Structure 1
Amino acid sequence: MNETPQPMADFAVGDRVRLTTPPPYLKTADTMPMLRPPDLVQLGEEGTIVDRRPGGYWGVKFERGTFLIDSQYIEAMPTHLDNS
């Protein structure tokens, strides 16, 4: 097998991200994580990276809570400023 591992998304604490694909469930970023239904975060909703977790997970603060999101479900928001 000659599979190349997928590159890990490069986010930093404080980065703004957007949910691009709905995960099958959400896991809270609490000390004792709980599984929550995926509809608490809407597709396209923006959040802020609050920390990095093992296994490709990121703590992301959304309007309805902070959840552990796999990097495959989020993308970085553009950081350019529009002076129009």
Structure 2
Amino acid sequence: MSKEFAIGSKVRVVALPPYVKTADPMPMLRPPDVIRIGEEGVVFDRRPGGYWGVRFARGAFLMESQYIDSVESPQAENSSQ
């Protein structure tokens, strides 16, 4: 089961994939060292195949949900209601 993220939500990299895909119209493979574990980004798109478009400081990449986790804590979401 893949995680779901809201568009505009902040996510954090929890593991590095063997390579990352750019979120360009013609995606290219890049080495995983363009992002770091713990780096935060913003979800801007949902793509087929379980990929999420995430904008990081060094560019926008397609990330599978197993490699990212939400930054917002459940307690913060519950206390705002």
Class of the TM-score when normalised by the shorter of the 2 chains: 0.7 to 0.9
- Corresponding position of 2:26: 32
Q: Does 1:55 align with 2:49?
A: yes
In structure 1, the gaps of 5 or more residues are 1-6
Q: State the 1:78 CA deviation.
A: 1.8
Q: Does 1:64 align with 2:58?
A: yes
AA partner of residue 65 (structure 2): S
- Corresponding position of 1:11: 5
- Corresponding position of 1:77: 71
In the TM superposition, what whole-angstrom CA distance separates every residue of 1:44-74 from its partner, at most 9, and x where no partner exists? 0000001000111000000000000000000
Q: Count how many residue pairs are aligned between Structure 1 and Structure 2.
A: 75
In the TM superposition, what whole-angstrom CA distance separates every residue of 1:21-64 from its partner, at most 9, and x where no partner exists? 01100100000111011000011000000100011100000000
- Corresponding position of 1:4: none
Q: 1 or 2, which has the higher helix percentage?
A: 2
Counterpart CA distance in 1 for 2:32 and 2:5 is 22
RMSD of aligned C-alpha atoms?
1.2
| TM-score after normalising by structure 2 | 0.88
| TM-score after normalising by structure 1 | 0.85
Structure having the higher Rg: 1
Identity %: 57
Q: 2:35 aligns with which of 35, 41, 46?
A: 41
SS at match of 2:33: helix
